Amino acid sequence: MGDRREGDVTVARAETAFVCLLRLVRPEAFARPTPEEEAAIEAHYARLKEEAERGRVLLAGPCLDGELGVLIFRAASLAEARAFVEADPVVVGSVMTAELHPFRVSLLALR
**4 found inside a domain:** no
Q: What's the CATH number where 54 sits?
A: 3.30.70.1060
Torsion of CA 76, 18, 95, 33, to 10 degrees: 120
What is the C-alpha to C-alpha distance for residues 52 and 50, in angstroms, rounded to an integer? 5
Give the mean pLDDT of the chain. Answer: 88
Q: Mean pLDDT throughout 12-20?
A: 76
Lowest mean pLDDT among 12-21, 48-57, 63-72: 12-21
Give pLDDT, residue 107.
Answer: 80
Q: Which domain holds residue 102?
A: 15-106
**50 found inside a domain:** yes
Give pLDDT, residue 104.
Answer: 85
**45 found inside a domain:** yes
Q: Mean pLDDT throughout 8-18?
A: 61
Q: Is the pLDDT reported for residue 110 higher than 60? A: yes
**42 found inside a domain:** yes
**31 found inside a domain:** yes
**9 found inside a domain:** no
Give how many domains the chain has, as a whole number: 1
Does 1 or 29 have the greater pLDDT score? 29
